[in-house]
Amino acid sequence: MPRNDPHIPRRPLAQRLGAILWPSFFAAGVACMVFFSIVDPLMLRDMTFPDFEIGRMGGYTLGFFLFWAATASSSLFTWLLLRPASRFHGKLNQ
Amino acid sequence: MSEGGQPQTIPLYIKAPKVYPREIKGRFASLRVIAAWVLLGMYYVIPWISVNGQQLVLFDLVNRKFHILGLTLWPQDLIILSLLLAMAALTLFFFTALAGRLWCGYACPQTVWTEVFLWMERITEGRRNQRMRLDAGPWNRNKIVRKSTKQFLWIVFALWTGFTFVGFFVPIRDVAVRALDFNLGGWETFWLFFYAFATYGNAGFLREQVCKYMCPYARFQSAMLDDDSLIISYDVERGEPRGPRKRSANPAELGLGDCIDCMACVQVCPTGIDIRDGLQIECIACAACIDACDDVMDKMGYPRGLIRYSTGNAMAGRPTRILRPRIFIYLGALLALMALVGMTVASRQPLLVDVLRDRTALHRVSDQMLENPYTIKLTNRTEDELHISIAVEGLDGIYVIEPVRPVTVAPSQVANQPLTIGLPLENARAGMHAITVSASDDDGQVHSETETRFFIPARALENAQ
């Protein structure tokens, strides 16, 4: 099927969301594990925002979601690049 | 968009029809129930088990150490954790090569929790047909009561699951006490709800869609499967041509195979596929269709096994080889990893010594003595209290000024201790010198050393003269 074929049906929402959120979640988990096994969140805090009242648990959580934000952005980017042209250049293709 | 003036409807997206798996009894269904009890039992019970006041499995993130069945892992032991994960992956490969997607059908948390959520759906909304009617029907009192009871059960169970999840990271008895007081910390509350939400969403709402759209395993399983792996297969030779018939009829006379096309195998399938179409990536090998078909075969008086665990080779009439190179390679790699983990665990040093140079003051001169300040980090990985004396060598006359007395390090604790090393000026030559800091226990059982540098600036020597 050509990439500008408007008849390519959309995938279910669960699949689209899942394909972006889940692999990035997984990658963020691994990155988080490796990162925090080397870096103690408390030391990181002292080096960056020493006035910030945050414990280790908060540091891990924050770190995880930062990683997830980064990996999910990358997944989102990939999704944009792989979308059929007809989806976002509909007018141009007519 | 339109051709020849004919307006065309383009679906916004393919709507996945809701799957209503039919309840099923049978050999494999019982196996799945047993597996669910064992696995969920482990999940919900293990955090509550403590030995000598130490929770048996606790990923104590706050104190940066993992307790796993009596073994304490520190951040420096990441390699052991990685090896354990690699072992888990290889075990998965091994069992997949041997018996197909055993993992998916019996052990995957997605499957197991979905089964529990389905069971709750069944006791509140009824059997498959009742559920379909209920969903199609109007929102009357009966529907509201049944649906809200189901939601109540689901939410309570999901919250309990989230609570248990937090209990793997923070001592669970602590969490329980504080949860009852509504006094949980912010992050604990957050993760409790996050995991509860994930459980609810995955097991209650998404279900088979997780396997179909999100699970990478389904995509790469073909790399592990071959024609000698056990898969769930429909015996086409025997079953086709399919068609309904009376129980008394002789299928041979009607020109029919053994499949009566009752659709039982499709109705019980949690991913909503038809196994008679052959092996599909959606198949999680739960064997529900085997139970369903065996049941029908029994009723018809036909032999069981129209759908059965079989191998590609057996289906094609060729011999199946279980002991093949692939099996030995996976097994060999698994054993090698196991040995590596054993060796790594056994050779762990009971005491870790890290020496960090003090960045604010690299050196001091006082009383004909050149001093370098450091911080020494002593990690006691034993279960005993250690009294550590620190010594230094590498330069003539070098010695430890502080600490004078042995440092006490509690079991499984880290002590951060200021360390000052001094050298008489008369022995000092300018430059960076490698020195060795050693730490040993009173009774000499525990000994560890590390390299660091001693800094003698030329300026300091000039000023002193």
B4, pLDDT greater than 50: no
Query: Which residue is closest to A23 within chain B, CA to CA?
Result: B214
pLDDT confidence bin for B334, thresholds 50/70/90: very high
CB neighbourhood size of B305 (10 A): 15
A83, pLDDT greater than 70: yes
Each residue's pLDDT tens digit, B122-131: 999 988 888 9
Predicted pLDDT of residue B197: 94
CA B240 to chain A, closest CA, distance in angstroms equals 33
Partner-chain residue, chosen from A9, A22, A37, that has the shortest CB–CB distance to B11 = A9
Disruptive mutation site among A33, A39, A57, A79 for chain B (greatest number of B CBs within 10 Å):
A57
Question: What type of residue is B37?
Answer: W
Distance CA B390, CA B408 (A): 12
B185 touches chain A (CB under 8 A): yes
Distance CA A39, CA A41 (A): 6
Closest CA to A31 of A70, A87, A80: A70
pLDDT confidence bin for B45, thresholds 50/70/90: very high
Each residue's pLDDT tens digit, A29-63: 989 988 988 888 888 888 888 788 888 888 888 99
* Cβ-Cβ contacts under 8 Å for A52 (sequence gap 6 or more): A45
Predicted pLDDT of residue B153: 96
Which token pair is B437? 């800091």
Return the residue matching tokens 């509140």.
B124
Partner-chain residue, chosen from B62, B188, B214, that has the shortest CB–CB distance to A18 = B214
Return the residue matching tokens 């408390």.
A42
Query: Which residue is closest to A86 within chain B, CA to CA?
Result: B1
What is the predicted ipTM?
0.74
Residues of chain B in contact with residue A11, where contact means CB-CB under 8 angstroms, are 13-14, 213
Q: For Cα atoms B139, B142, B146, give the angle at the middle one, nearest 5 degrees.
A: 95
Specify the CATH class of B351-464 in words: mainly beta
Residues of chain B in contact with residue A61, where contact means CB-CB under 8 angstroms, are 187, 190-191
Please give the span between the terminal C-alpha atoms of chain B, in angstroms, as a whole number.
Answer: 93
Predicted pLDDT of residue B176: 92
Please give the span between the terminal C-alpha atoms of chain A, in angstroms, as a whole number.
Answer: 17
Distance CA B292, CA B244 (A): 16
Domain boundaries defined on chain B = 15-348, 351-464
pLDDT confidence bin for B3, thresholds 50/70/90: very low
**B457 within 8 A of B430, measured Cβ to Cβ:** yes
B359 touches chain A (CB under 8 A): no
Closest CA to B161 of B215, B201, B125: B201
B219, pLDDT greater than 90: no
CA B200 to chain A, closest CA, distance in angstroms equals 15
Partner-chain residue, chosen from A6, A18, A23, that has the shortest CB–CB distance to B10 = A6
Flag the least confident range among A53-57, A71-75, B55-59, B333-337. A53-57
* Mean of all residue pLDDT scores within chain B: 86
Beta bridge partners of residue B387, listed in sequence order:
B408
CA A31 to chain B, closest CA, distance in angstroms equals 13
Collect all residues from A whose CB is shorter than 8 A from any CB in B: 6-7, 9-15, 18-19, 22-23, 33-34, 36-38, 40, 55-58, 60-61, 94
| Interval B197-223 mean pLDDT | 84
pLDDT confidence bin for B465, thresholds 50/70/90: low
- For residues B198 and B464, the model is more confident at B198
Buried b (16+ CB within 10 A) or exposed e, B391-417: ebeebeebebbeeeeebebeebebeeb
B38, pLDDT greater than 50: yes
Flag the least confident range among B14-18, B67-71, B328-332, B457-461. B14-18
Distance CA B209, CA B46 (A): 30
A89, pLDDT greater than 70: no
pLDDT confidence bin for B320, thresholds 50/70/90: confident
Partner-chain residue, chosen from A19, A38, A58, that has the shortest CB–CB distance to B213 = A19
Instruction: List Cα–Cα distances, B355 to B63, B188, B404, B407, B449, in angstroms.
Output: 20, 34, 17, 15, 10
CA B268 to chain A, closest CA, distance in angstroms equals 22
Note whether B14 contacts A10, CB cutoff 8 Å.
Answer: yes
Disruptive mutation site among B165, B187, B205, B271 for chain A (greatest number of A CBs within 10 Å):
B187
B12, pLDDT greater than 70: no
| Interval B407-423 mean pLDDT | 87
Residues of chain A in contact with residue B216, where contact means CB-CB under 8 angstroms, are 23
SS3 category, B198: helix
Note whether A7 contacts B206, CB cutoff 8 Å.
Answer: no
Q: Which helix (H) or strand (E) holds B123?
A: helix B109-125
DSSP track, B65-120:
EEEETTEEE-GGGHHHHHHHHHHHHHHHHHHHHHHSSHIIIII-HHHHHHHHHHHH
Distance CA B354, CA B452 (A): 9
Query: Which residue is closest to A25 within chain B, CA to CA?
Result: B214
